[in-house]
Structure formats: structure tokens, C-alpha cells
Amino acid sequence: MADISQLALNTATVRMQWNLKQAVEGCLRHGLKGITVWREPIAEVGLAEAAKIVRGSGLDVVGLCRAGLFAADTPQKVLDDNRRAVDEAAAVGARTLCIIGGGLPGGSKDIKAAWGGVRDGLAALLPHARAAGVGLALEPLHPMYAADRACINTLEHATDLCEELGEGIGVAIDVYHVWWDSYLGREIARAGRLKRIVGFHICDWLVPTRDMLLDRGMMGDGVIDIAGIREQVEAAGFHGYHEVEIFSAENWWKRDPDEVVRTCIDRHRRFC
Ligand code: ZN
């Protein structure tokens, strides 16, 4: 059974209700030990103040979300922003920086070129990340996002890229994005053997899903065998936090945030 000591709150889950300070206080109030923060709430208060809030809390800062988006029209600008994200992760004491690939540049029909753009962007970013002591967590996203958000869509592809790029980068496995993959078990085992699993994100896939981006479900409300995937991830040697990350414009973002966190804790215990 999942234990609360393994659960981390991704601030996106309560992003409409709580600012950074409130999210940190909420984690502490509910007995959570880990938090994953987004760049937007950090920008709201400024990096120095954010670092004070987060580092002073005693919480484990599991990750910073989010950077990447390399397969874009303006590579230098994107690389500069990614380097700033690494610096922000280091400032708040985040172990990893979460990276998504980016979609196809405007007007392009060449997904292979977009894949190459992601590889080149990561290769250019890695020396800065290694020097800062921030691990990169490459997160494959569900293929419905391939065109406009993230062209790295399978765990296999993400792990292949990590192997090609060397040290300092691993994969974040988000059940929402990979649950459908017939190669998932094989690829979790491979990523584990290669010591590349650096993150595990949880939520659920609702039927029907009403919005591609903002209708993720609470654990237990959908069709994902979260406990089964968690077993595979642990059998592959990953024992880090389970980060609950729910984008839910019409449901969980409209609820009392303390109720949301209480529900996360309860569902994590029962379904993860
Ligand atoms: Zn995720």
C-alpha cells in the first residue's frame, strides 16, 4: 500500500487556489514531505523570495516544472530560457528539472526534424545542468500532444535519447502519458536497468476526457492501473516520490484546496 511519505504535491494540482507560499504551507499542514513547483508561482514572488519560501520549509523539492519545448522556431531563445530554468531549479533546491520536447515548428510537417531539435537542444543544455547539479527529467507526453506540445511520446524514445546524451538526464514516467503503451512494462524495466528513472507522476485518465489538456482525473476516478505501474517502476529500482499532478479546470481547480490535498492523500493510499 502506498504511504503518505512517498507522496509529493505538484503545485499544478492546486494552481488556481494557492500561491507558492500557500502550497508549501498546505503540504506541511497535511503532512506531505515533498513538493514539485512550477516556474509561474516562482516568478510571481521572484526567485530570491521563492527560494526562501521553499528552502525554509524543510520540504523535499522533488522537481521544477517545466522547461524544454526545444523543437521551436527560435532555438537560441529557447536554450537561454532552459538555462534560466536550470538556474531556478538550483536556486530552489530542486533535484530535477522537468523537460518536455516541444511540438513541431510552425508550418513544419517534419516530425523527424523536431526529434532532432529536441536532441540538439538537450545536448546544448546538459553541460549547464551538470555544472549546476540539476538532473534533467525528460517526460514523454501522450501522442495527442505530438504536434503542438511534445514530440517525444514514448518511454522508449525518451530512454533512447537519454542513452544517446549521456549523464545528467533521465526519464519522468507520468502514468497519464504512458499507460496505453503496449511496450510500457518492457520499457520501464529497461529504463530501470539503465538507471534512468528519475520521476514518477500520478493522476488518472477519465472516460470521457473532455479536454486534451485540462481534464485529468484524480487517482481512482479513471482507467489507469496506477498501482500496477507503480509496482513495475519500483521493481525497476525507482523508490522516489509519487508526484500527484492534476490539471483539472472544471473540477479539482474549483474545489477547496485542502479538500483536494486530503483527497490526493486518500486516493494515493487506496489506488496507488
Ligand atoms: Zn507529469
Task: Return averaged pLDDT per consecutive 10 residues of the chain, 272 residues in all.
Answer: 91 98 98 98 97 97 96 87 98 98 93 95 98 98 97 98 98 98 98 98 98 97 98 98 98 98 97 94
pTM for this predicted structure: 0.97
Q: What is the CA radius of gyration of the chain?
A: 17
* Distance of CA 175 from the midpoint of ligand 1 (Å): 8
* Distance of CA 4 from the midpoint of ligand 1 (Å): 19
* Distance of CA 209 from the midpoint of ligand 1 (Å): 17
* Distance of CA 49 from the midpoint of ligand 1 (Å): 26
- The whole-number pLDDT of residue 49 equals 98
* Distance of CA 127 from the midpoint of ligand 1 (Å): 24
Q: Which residues are 170's β-sheet partners? A: 137
* Distance of CA 243 from the midpoint of ligand 1 (Å): 8
* Distance of CA 135 from the midpoint of ligand 1 (Å): 16
* Distance of CA 153 from the midpoint of ligand 1 (Å): 12
- The whole-number pLDDT of residue 1 equals 64
* Distance of CA 15 from the midpoint of ligand 1 (Å): 15
* Distance of CA 139 from the midpoint of ligand 1 (Å): 7
- The whole-number pLDDT of residue 153 equals 98
- The whole-number pLDDT of residue 54 equals 97
* Distance of CA 7 from the midpoint of ligand 1 (Å): 14
